[in-house]
Structure 1
Amino acid sequence: MAVKMPQRNGKNRISQILRFGLFWAIIIFVALIFYATLFPASNLKDVALSDVVRRANDGKIAQLEIQGNDIKITPKDQSKPTEHSVKESSSIYEQGLNKDAKVEVKVIPPSTTGETMWNLAVMVVPVLIIVVFFMFMMRQAQGQNNQAMGFGKSKARLYGQDKEKVLFTDIAGNDNAKQDLQEVVDFLKHPKKYKDLGAKIPKGVLLVGNPGTGKTMLARAVAGEAGVPFFSISGSEFVEMFVGVGASRVRDLFSKAKKNAPCIIFIDEIDAVGRKRGSGMGGGHDEREQTLNQILVEMDGFDGETNVIVLAATNRADVLDPALLRPGRFDRRVTITLPERKDREAILKVHFKKKPTDETVDLDKLAAKTAGSSGADLANMANEAAIIAARRNKKKISNDELTEAFERVAIGPERKTKIMNDHEKELTAYHEAGHAIVGHVLPDSDPVHKVTIIPRGGTGGVTWFLPPEDKSYTNVYEFKDILARAMGGRIAEQLIYGDDGITTGAGSDLRKATEIARDMVIEQGMGKGLRDQVFHEDNGGLMFDKMTRERPYSDETAKMIDEEVAQLITEAKHRAMLVLKENRSFLDKLAEALLKEETLEESEVDEILKGTKLPKEAKLHS
């Protein structure tokens, strides 16, 4: 949902533009007055002096009006001057005019207005320029002074006066998180009934979840539901290069919040300032640590009678300082998970609400295929589908655009401009066919969704597996099947081209397989010799902490971990080799189909791989 933001900055900008325009309008107006005075406009016809003298002597001119060297001529048949001429500094009679000529010569003393204005301009204009220059310099200095004085002021943006507020009904999914936050809303709306029972308002609520799951939007919805002011700031905005500035901004932020109580302070990405405090090698007075200390004091100091709730969002709760997470500071932790299928469908309906679609679009089917996608991913898919449809000059979004948008977000855009020679195409076809056959045959692997040898993103081809339903857990057998199908591409290259024919095409597969195997051993306790033991390594903290902290296991255990990882990779290679040797003819058949069609869908792959067999030696369990 689009949320209307405060327009204060826009109004200030418009006011500055108007003042600037008015200033220059006055300058131009004054300049025009000077110009009109010094150079008056004239619509008189210019004629030669000799012609004027000749006509005056012939009696064809009624009057000559002389002012200085300028002459205005009134012909015999006219009542006012219509012509203009210029004489030399001598008398008009010396220019040839007869004294007995029947013409009225009217001499007007020269005007001193122009000269006076010119002299005035010479004196005033430099003074004005100097005054304007000094005013500009003083204003700049004043602005810098204000900026220096406001250096320790909080940069939090205040919301709450918006006409369109974000409510829980505007956010699809996240029902459990909404239920947890509803209590905070109720306290802000009805604090008295809680205080009468001796209940205290929770000081802080920590929103934890993957990127794109809607943590910031939920915080806005809490403020919208409660109808209270909402101060929003990023954790990185507290930290500056000068020590003490962050702590000053924290004090200023909480001071403003107390004046607007009851209200909400929202700190996005709080791990920027809330990380675990270091070992002291960097000094106890570093800026980030002082900022964190000030937050701790403000949240649970001597002043505890404030109706200010701190909402904070992070996707790295494991690196936060323990003092920040204790009761009395962040009392609640609300975990915002990735949306389930029904939630994904609801989110897609919200994002397609204002987008025209035809009858081929099936959002439920798309929701089924997007397991593991966040709300931001789904919003991106909807936007990509609209962009693709507009590029094709369509009035409505069809299923073709929706499918392409899903694939662009999930596995990257097609790179049809990349040229591969025949050998590279054949190698890519066998590589992807190896992945597909191993994944298709093994019983605990996800089904093949699509196979393509068209380069996508940073890969030369893609074999895409999608789970048939959302899963919360992964067992050992599923992990081992994932490892085996990851090794299927490299093993297929070996079968077709020999050990000397393997290429760098399997680099990303091997890297991913090694990461999965190490995670199984270190984080999940799934090793054979190290079963049910976890050796978690904390990747957070400062560099000095990493240098001084010992590993949570010995060198002998590290060697055992390496051996366990190697055994898992070797077992995966062996199983992939058994499957591909057993189904060698299907490997050729699928590769030929890929070379011909370039992309095969799930139904086409299933048709080609009918009759494939799982060797007994490749089974892990009966």
Structure 2
Amino acid sequence: MNDDQPQGNPWIKSLLIWGGIFLALLLVVSMFNTRTDPAGTVIPYSDFRASVVQDNVREVQVGPDRITGTLKNDQQFATVPVPGDAELTKLLQEHGVRYAGKAQEEPNLLLYILAQSLPFLLILGVAFFALRQVQKGGGSGAMGFGKSKAKLLTERSGKVTFDDVAGIDEAREELQEIVEFLRDPSRFSKLGGQIPKGALLVGSPGTGKTLLARAIAGEAGVPFFTISGSDFVEMFVGVGASRVRDMFDQAKKNAPCIVFIDEIDAVGRHRGHGLGNSNDEREQTLNQLLVEMDGFEANEGIIIIAATNRPDVLDPALLRPGRFDRQVVVPIPDIDGREKILSVHMKKVPLAPDVLPRVIARGTPGFSGADLANLVNEAALLAARRNKRLVAMQEFEDAKDKVMMGAERRSMVMTDDEKKMTAYHEAGHAIVSINEAASDPIHKATIIPRGRALGMVMRLPERDSYSYHRDKMHANLSVSMGGRVAEELIFGYDKVSSGASSDIQYATSLARNMVTKWGMSDKLGPLQYEEAQEGYLGMGGSHRTMMSDETNKLIDSEIRMLVDGAHARATQILKSNEDKLHMLAQALLEYETLSGDEIRVLMENGRLDRPEPPIGTLRPVTSQGATVPRAGRRFSGSGDPHPAGA
């Protein structure tokens, strides 16, 4: 894409403007300074006459309005004569002062004309500057209110193509037809077909809608205008409509081209739902946009691509055929899409051989393309801070934990009792998860505080799940109760902590959805008792439908039954595996973080083989002060770690 219009250097323009202002100031100063007489010191007329009487004056030049001369000590002076002093020449003769007349100076005609015309020149300069600003395109001028703010994107560097877009294959294929039309319009027109005039990209923030639009422009090789929906809206009625007209005028001059409107919901909201009347600025702008897209005058070769994450608030007239013919959903990528997106971003990063994009993709469910790009960037920054030449899997794991849960709070001071309770709490979650067949595999367990959590057990699904079965929901309920049950078994009823608050909140919410939304209560049957409701202007929320008191009591009892059942199931599992609970808790106290494979080996063999740390790394210390080798550590079920062979 090339911009044929030459662009001036704004720095040089500014320099010329300020240079002209400086020269004008110098000219004004010189004009006011032309009357300054460099003849000498100005003295009062009475002092001049006294000097003549005292024979201190050698010679003078008498002018009509100024007298200059030289004293006998060679000092020059000047004075202004008093009108009507006819005795001056007689006084000069009596004291032997040489005197001569001085002709009146003629004014500089050029300076006189310039001084008289300077105000008019300034007025003409200001008017010329204002007119130039009005004529500027892009609405950047001081008075360019009605000009479009659309920017022509030039891909001289960093050109984006479909190779840079991954994880949204269906959306890319949907838009491939637009690229083929821009490349060869006759292929479609000879059969009577018409390309869609507009495509609306709908998706959550960060899914790649803007990147996809840039890829279309990069593949087609046509001019690409980009503008935000908020750039149309102004406080003056009619300005937005003028900008729409100017934007389409620019597009017609560069057709075929693409016009990308980001966040179109800022200007395309449903008419009649606002607080203003039907003639307010936003609705006038929307009306003009509707006319330009599919009005009396056809816009051949102009394709409008818009992006929004709020399609429900758009005016129906925007979505009808002939305007935005296609609505392309850009979804959150699945596990295969996340792996492809990671591969695209990892091309810019030197990777260590142990990096597995598939494992990272499994551990990032719900991540958008922007989230994954941020993850790769955080991993690269971590590797740079650690003075590494390659980005290893450890950096990606640490970056993922940081993005999802916050940075490690290693400066947080925890007592030994708090660490021990946290270790048993997380071990309880892990043991229940291992013994629940429907639970997802454990990826990591840690007791390092992150964000508001003192520890966590991360489980990774083998694949993305789009629906959940009843057995998995019951398994998740049991796992959420595992930490609370472990505290009850090990520390007693009176020592249970508040660390299970988020677990209780999750279990209660899951049980309520099972009863009121998903029909998984035998007593209440497959009926919906609660429904989500969109609040005013999209504010989300939920409310309970009108039900009798007996039904509400039954719902509460069913929720209580599900949570109590999960608590009983977790208690049964942990009592049957109390020795493994002790082993895992002691391993967490020593190593702080264990991977899923290490937990599996520990549960099977009762020992954990971990490589010796590099020289200079801190290692655990026994009560006698001796360091204990990390390799071959064996853990007993009594809660005390022992070296291998003990």
Q: What residue number does 1:19 align with?
A: 16
Distance 1:204 1:21 in 2: 46
> Is this contact kept in 2: 1:201–1:307, CA < 8 A?
no
> Is this contact kept in 1: 2:443–2:596, CA < 8 A?
yes
> Counterparts of 1:399-548 in structure 2 under 5 Å?
399-498=393-492, 500-520=494-514, 524=518, 526=520, 528=522, 529-531=524-526, 533=528, 536-539=531-534, 541-542=536-537
| Alpha-carbon distance, 1:21 to partner | 5.2
Q: What residue number does 1:154 align with?
A: 148
> Is this contact kept in 1: 2:362–2:461, CA < 8 A?
no
Distance 2:568 2:243 in 1: 60
The counterpart of 1:194, out of the listed 188, 196, 204, is: 188
Cα displacement string for residues 575-621 of structure 1 (whole angstroms, at most 9, x for unaligned residues): 33333343334333322322222222212222344499xxxxxxxxx
Aligned length: 548
Query: CA 1:321/1:513 → structure 2, altered by over 3 Å: closer, same or farther?
Result: farther
| Alpha-carbon distance, 1:276 to partner | 4.7
Query: CA 1:251/1:7 → structure 2, altered by over 3 Å: closer, same or farther?
Result: closer
Q: What residue number does 1:584 align with?
A: 578
Cα displacement string for residues 93-116 of structure 1 (whole angstroms, at most 9, x for unaligned residues): xxxxxxxxxxxxxxxx99x99xx9
Cα displacement string for residues 309-340 of structure 1 (whole angstroms, at most 9, x for unaligned residues): 22222334344444443433332222223334
Query: CA 1:602/1:39 → structure 2, altered by over 3 Å: closer, same or farther?
Result: farther
> Is this contact kept in 2: 1:525–1:534, CA < 8 A?
no
Secondary structure class of the residue paired with 1:469: coil
Query: CA 1:248/1:224 → structure 2, altered by over 3 Å: closer, same or farther?
Result: same
More helix by share: 1
Distance 1:566 1:368 in 2: 33
Secondary structure class of the residue paired with 2:500: helix
Q: What residue number does 1:227 align with?
A: 221
Query: CA 1:577/1:201 → structure 2, altered by over 3 Å: closer, same or farther?
Result: same
> Counterparts of 1:585-604 in structure 2 under 5 Å?
585-604=579-598
Q: What residue number does 1:82 align with?
A: none
Which has the larger displacement, 564-573 or 480-489? 564-573
> Percent of counterpart pairs with the same letter?
47
Equivalent position amino acid for 1:329 in 2? R
| Alpha-carbon distance, 1:33 to partner | 9.6
Query: CA 1:552/1:408 → structure 2, altered by over 3 Å: closer, same or farther?
Result: closer
Query: CA 1:468/1:131 → structure 2, altered by over 3 Å: closer, same or farther?
Result: same
Structure 2 gap ranges (5+): 39-67, 78-100, 607-646
Query: CA 1:566/1:209 → structure 2, altered by over 3 Å: closer, same or farther?
Result: farther
Secondary structure class of the residue paired with 1:542: helix
Structure 1 gap ranges (5+): 41-66, 72-84, 90-108, 613-622
Q: What residue number does 2:644 align with?
A: none
Query: CA 1:523/1:295 → structure 2, altered by over 3 Å: closer, same or farther?
Result: farther
What is the RMSD computed on CA atoms of the aligned residues? 4.9
> Is this contact kept in 1: 2:484–2:500, CA < 8 A?
yes
| Alpha-carbon distance, 1:566 to partner | 5.0
Equivalent position amino acid for 1:213 in 2? T
Query: CA 1:259/1:133 → structure 2, altered by over 3 Å: closer, same or farther?
Result: closer
| Alpha-carbon distance, 1:246 to partner | 4.1
The counterpart of 2:178, out of the listed 168, 178, 184, is: 184
Distance 1:380 1:387 in 2: 10
> Is this contact kept in 1: 2:530–2:545, CA < 8 A?
yes
Q: What residue number does 1:618 align with?
A: none
Secondary structure class of the residue paired with 1:166: coil
Query: CA 1:161/1:346 → structure 2, altered by over 3 Å: closer, same or farther?
Result: closer
Distance 1:275 1:163 in 2: 36
Secondary structure class of the residue paired with 2:258: strand
| Alpha-carbon distance, 1:259 to partner | 4.1
The counterpart of 1:211, out of the listed 205, 208, 222, is: 205
Does residue 308 (structure 1) correspond to residue 313 (structure 2)? The answer is: no
Query: CA 1:395/1:280 → structure 2, altered by over 3 Å: closer, same or farther?
Result: closer
Cα displacement string for residues 279-316 of structure 1 (whole angstroms, at most 9, x for unaligned residues): 67765556555544544444344445533322222334
Query: CA 1:128/1:183 → structure 2, altered by over 3 Å: closer, same or farther?
Result: same
> Counterparts of 1:294-373 in structure 2 under 5 Å?
294-304=288-298, 306-373=300-367
TM-score (norm 1): 0.72
The counterpart of 2:265, out of the listed 264, 271, 278, is: 271
Query: CA 1:359/1:245 → structure 2, altered by over 3 Å: closer, same or farther?
Result: same
Q: What residue number does 1:95 align with?
A: none
Query: CA 1:530/1:356 → structure 2, altered by over 3 Å: closer, same or farther?
Result: same
Which has the larger displacement, 308-317 or 11-20? 11-20
Which has the larger displacement, 446-455 or 556-565? 556-565
Distance 1:345 1:248 in 2: 45
| Alpha-carbon distance, 1:363 to partner | 3.7
Secondary structure class of the residue paired with 1:172: coil
Q: What residue number does 2:546 align with?
A: 554
Which has the larger displacement, 396-405 or 178-187? 396-405
Which has the larger displacement, 280-289 or 300-309? 280-289
